[in-house]
Chain A
Amino acid sequence: MTPAELDLVARLCLVRTGRRLDISEPDQILIRLTGLARREGFGTVADLLIALRTRETERLAWPLIECLTVFERDFMEDAEVLDQLGHRILPTLSTARGGAPVRIWCPASGSGQEPYSMAMLAQEAMDRLSDGLQVEIYASDISTRALERARTGLFNHFEVQKGLTARRLVDHFLRREDSWQVSPALREMVRWRRVNPLSETPGGVRFDIILCRGVLPRTAPHMRPNLVLNLAQALSPGGLLILGQGEGEGAEDLAPAMNPLAGMPAIYTRNPAFSLAA
């Protein structure tokens, strides 16, 4: 791809979603756009980009953004944090909520590994505990295509072997011809919405846990305050924002809305002194 073509797609992603596109690996971008060009009936990526620039901007813009900005992630990424979440945080929050459902939001759910990982942890916590833990998981993405795929709960041979123990695979998945499908019980725990986390939240509810890993570093610096404010507004009192490992270090964008939780790297609470109207 030429520098001008890379600049075109990067600017489009930035303007429409606030996300920074990593253009350091143009081959990866080319691979993704080649698939899109084929699906949209273009002979080459160059033809696709000419149509995008000249005559079919609105028809092609979102499919292009969706194929370039979807988060690829493995099951159970950041295993230590998720282990804390399943064994300590979920039971503690459930008790604090007096048995009301603990609400979790994954704002960049991609192909679904993250919300389904949360559903597995929740199911395992429910099986361990006898005090009626209830969990509602909201998964959102800006990509309709990713949401449609994630909703099926179908994953291939390679995807289910990354990050997922064999025990969890046989406990939480069903074999479906060449794929594995997340069990109906787990799929029922997850509600899917198309949401831009810069300005929207799913379901009109507040969340006890927001699992927002990988989003902050990929958001353009000038849009990060919008993201942080939106996430802060979406948190319930005492709710937790969980970032990816190292994402909060030196992130001035998080202050003054969020405070790090002592002894829990990458986990933040809303600053009680912070005015949401700010």
Chain B
Amino acid sequence: MKTCLVVDDSPVIRSLARRLVEARGIPVREAADGAQALAACKEEMPDLILLDWRMPVMSGLEALSKLRLMPGGDHPKVLVCSVETSPDLIRQALEAGADEYVMKPFDGEILASKITLAGVA
């Protein structure tokens, strides 16, 4: 069974994302910043990560760079989720190793489409 890690400093966004992902039958764990996300990945590498960009302690992109260097860190499909909508910033996230980019706010249809596009059934 596929698993998902939702990383966001907003409990509201984490709750929304959890509900949308669990509706697709994918169990969800949560982390509130990049450092917690890396610790969760070290414990058990997920198949899918929804990763906020702007977070305290460690940003999403910094966590993504470190994740990709971890053993098995190339496995998860990472969807960077952000309010940033500049094409240059979207390119920056893709070049940092994101598989997809989700602009906030998002709904269930957008998330489902992006999860499919990232190659997570």
C-alpha spacing A158/B113, complex, angstroms: 11
In the bound complex, residues from chain B placing their C-beta under 8 Å from that of A175 are 85-87
Would B85 and A157 count as touching, CB distance under 8 A?
yes
Indicate which residue in B106, B113, B114 contacts A74 across the interface (CB closer than 8 Å). B113
Bitwise, B75-112 to A at CB < 8 A (1) or not (0) is 00000000001110011011000101111001101100
Distance in Å from the Cβ of A157 to the closest Cβ of chain B?
Answer: 6
Q: Is residue B117 within 8 Å, beta carbon to beta carbon, of the partner chain?
A: yes
Would A161 and B91 count as touching, CB distance under 8 A?
no
In the bound complex, residues from chain A placing their C-beta under 8 Å from that of B87 are 169-170, 173-175
Query: Which residue of chain A has the shortest Cβ distance to B102 in the bound complex?
Result: A161
Q: Which one of B93, B98, B110 has the highest number of Cβ atoms from chain A below 10 Å of its Cβ?
A: B110
Would B90 and A165 count as touching, CB distance under 8 A?
no
Q: Is residue A162 within 8 Å, beta carbon to beta carbon, of the partner chain?
A: yes
Number of A-B contacts (CB under 8 A): 38
Bitwise, A146-159 to B at CB < 8 A (1) or not (0) is 00000000000110
Indicate which residue in A74, A162, A165 contacts B100 across the interface (CB closer than 8 Å). A165
In the bound complex, residues from chain B placing their C-beta under 8 Å from that of A161 are 102-103, 106, 110, 113-114
Q: Is residue A63 within 8 Å, beta carbon to beta carbon, of the partner chain?
A: no
CB contacts under 8 Å to B, within A119-136, are: none
In the bound complex, residues from chain B placing their C-beta under 8 Å from that of A165 are 100, 117
In the bound complex, residues from chain B placing their C-beta under 8 Å from that of A170 are 87, 90-91, 94
In the bound complex, residues from chain A placing their C-beta under 8 Å from that of B103 are 157, 161
Q: Is residue A248 within 8 Å, beta carbon to beta carbon, of the partner chain?
A: no
CB contacts under 8 Å to B, within A169-221, are: 169-170, 173-175
C-alpha spacing A94/B37, complex, angstroms: 49
With contact pairs A158-B107, A170-B87, A170-B91 given, residues A163 and B113 touching in the complex (Cβ less than 8 Å)? yes
C-alpha spacing A162/B107, complex, angstroms: 10
C-alpha spacing A234/B100, complex, angstroms: 39
State which size class the interface on A falls in: 10 to 19
Distance in Å from the Cβ of B50 to the closest Cβ of chain A?
Answer: 14
C-alpha spacing A161/B87, complex, angstroms: 13
C-alpha spacing A174/B90, complex, angstroms: 12
In the bound complex, residues from chain B placing their C-beta under 8 Å from that of A173 are 87
Distance in Å from the Cβ of A86 to the closest Cβ of chain B?
Answer: 16
Query: Which residue of chain B has the shortest Cβ distance to A160 in the bound complex?
Result: B103
Distance in Å from the Cβ of B64 to the closest Cβ of chain A?
Answer: 14
Indicate which residue in B90, B107, B109 contacts A166 across the interface (CB closer than 8 Å). B90
Q: Is residue A55 within 8 Å, beta carbon to beta carbon, of the partner chain?
A: no
Query: Which residue of chain A has the shortest Cβ distance to B109 in the bound complex?
Result: A162
Distance in Å from the Cβ of A117 to the closest Cβ of chain B?
Answer: 13
Distance in Å from the Cβ of B25 to the closest Cβ of chain A?
Answer: 21
**Sample of 13 further A-B pairs with CB below 8 A, known A158-B110, A161-B106:** A158-B107, A161-B103, A161-B110, A161-B113, A161-B114, A162-B109, A162-B113, A166-B100, A166-B101, A170-B91, A175-B85, A175-B86, A175-B87
Chain B interface residues toward A at CB < 8 A: 85-87, 90-91, 93-94, 98, 100-103, 106-107, 109-110, 113-114, 117
Chain A interface residues toward B at CB < 8 A: 74, 157-158, 161-163, 165-167, 169-170, 173-175
A-B CB contact pairs (8 Å), 14 listed:
A74-B113, A157-B103, A158-B109, A162-B109, A162-B113, A163-B113, A165-B117, A166-B98, A169-B90, A170-B90, A170-B94, A173-B87, A175-B85, A175-B87
